[in-house]
Amino acid sequence: MINKEILEIKKQFTPENCTITRMCGCYVDAEKVRKYEVNRSFLSLPEEEAFKYFEIFKQTLTGTLGKKLINMEFPLAQEEPGGTQEFLFRLRNSKLEDESLVDEFFNKIIGHYEYGENYYIILIHAVYDVPGRAEDGLEMFDASENIYEYILCSICPVKLSKAGLSYDADQNSIVGRSRDWVVDPPAKGFLFPAFNDRTGDIHQALYFSKKPEELQPKLIEELLGSEIPLSAENQKVTFNEILSETLGEECDFTMVRCIHDNLQEMIEESKEEPEPLELDKFDMRRLLERSGASEDKLEKVETTFEQTAGERRKLMASNIAETKKFSIETPDVVIKVSPDRADLVETKVIDGRRCIVIGINDHVEVNGVDIDIKEEEEV
C-alpha cells in the first residue's frame, strides 16, 4: 500500500463515511485472562463512543511507511488450508459472526503478544464501496468500481489513570480524583487484505507498530506468517555494515559524504513516485558507482548485500539516510552539520595531525554566546 491508499481508508472512519459493519473486542489483564468481551453491530454504538473508536482505527493506519507501517506479503504456504492467510480470509468472510473463529483469533494474540500489562484487542469488519474516478482524479460516487471488504485489528494498552485532585461540583469542594482504566492509542495492529491499486489484495497485509524497534516477531509469525522485516534502526545498521564490508580502506570521509549526498539526491528524485524509494543489491551497486567506488569494490557489493541483508531484502532509503543531520563523531567530539551543508566539512593534515576542518562565516556562537572570530585571529 502507498500513502494515498492508506489515506483513502482512513477517511472512512467518520460518522458520515462509516462502512464498519461489526466490532469485536476482548479486554485482557496482565495475567492474560480475558476480563471482558463484546461482539456487536458497530452502528449501534452511541455516537460519542463510536467517535473514540474512529480515532483508534485512524491511529492504527498512521505512521511512516517502512517504519511504523510495513507492507507484508504472505508466503504461498500460508495461503494453503491451515495457513495464516487462509485463516484471516475465513475470518473476514465470516463478517465476524462466527464466534469460534473470533475466539481463535483472540487466542492467537493472547498467546503471542508480549506485553506485561492490561490491553484491549479490537477487531472490526467493514465493506467499502470503492467509488470510481474520472480522468481528472475526482471521485464519482455513482460509479462504483469494486467492493473492498476488510478487517482491521488494533491492540491498545489499558493503563490506570494518574492519581490527582479534581473539583466536585455537587460537593463544591476539591476531592481526590477517581482512577480509571483508560484505553490508550494502539501499540500494534494490522489491516487485511491490503488495499492496493484501490482494490483488495489478499496476498498482502499492512502491519502497524507504534514503536518501530519493537515489531514483535512472534506476533507477526502467528498472525501473518510473513518474513520478519528489518526494523528501521536495523536497516540503518545493516546499510552501514554493507558499506564498511564492501569499501574497506575506501570508506573514508570523502566517500561517505559522497554517498550521503547521492542518497539524498536519489530520495529527492523519487519524491513524485507513489511508492517510497527502496534499495536492493543492484541499487546499492549504482549508489556506490555514482559515489566513485573502485571497480573491485563494486564487484563485491552485491555479494556483501546478500550476506548481510538477504538476497531478496530491500532497504528503505528514508530509513538509512540521515535527512535531518550530518554528524561526525570521535570518542571526545560530536559535530552535527545541516545535511545540505556537508560540503563545509573536510579533513586535512595540519602540522602533522589529522584534523576535521569546518568552514565558517563571521557569525559563530559558543554555548549560546556570540564570539568575534576576527579578534581571535588578530591575537
Does residue 330 sit in helix, strand or coil?
coil
Mean pLDDT, the chain, integer: 89
Residue 155: is its pLDDT beyond 80?
yes
pLDDT at 138: 62
Residue 264: is its pLDDT beyond 80?
yes
| Banded pLDDT at 341 (limits 50, 70, 90) | confident
| Banded pLDDT at 377 (limits 50, 70, 90) | very low
Q: Give the residue among 333, 337, 313 at the shortest CA–CA distance from 324.
A: 337
Q: Among 180-184, 312-316, 323-327, name the one with the lowest average pLDDT.
A: 323-327
- Tell me the range of 21-35, 300-314, 347-361 where mean pLDDT is highest: 21-35
DSSP letter at 54 equals H
| Banded pLDDT at 321 (limits 50, 70, 90) | confident
pLDDT digits (tens, 9 = 90+) for 183-217: 999 999 999 999 999 999 999 999 999 999 999 99
Of all residues in the chain, the percent with pLDDT exceeding 90 is 57
- Contacts of 120 by beta carbon, 8 Å cutoff, 6+ apart: 25, 26, 27, 28, 155, 156, 158, 183
Strand partners, 28: 34, 119
CB atoms within 10 A of CB 240: 14
Q: Are 232 and 42 in contact (CB under 8 A)?
A: no
pLDDT digits (tens, 9 = 90+) for 103-145: 999 999 999 999 999 999 999 999 999 987 666 566 665 556 6
* Better-predicted residue by pLDDT, 361 or 316: 316
- Residues listed for the chain: 379
pLDDT at 139: 60
**Cα angle, residue 38 at apex, residues 35 and 39 outer, rounded to 5°:** 150
Residue 30: is its pLDDT beyond 80?
yes
Q: Are 153 and 184 in contact (CB under 8 A)?
A: no
C-alpha to C-alpha distance for 124 and 154, rounded to whole angstroms: 9
Residue 90: is its pLDDT beyond 90?
yes
pLDDT at 312: 75
Does residue 185 sit in helix, strand or coil?
coil
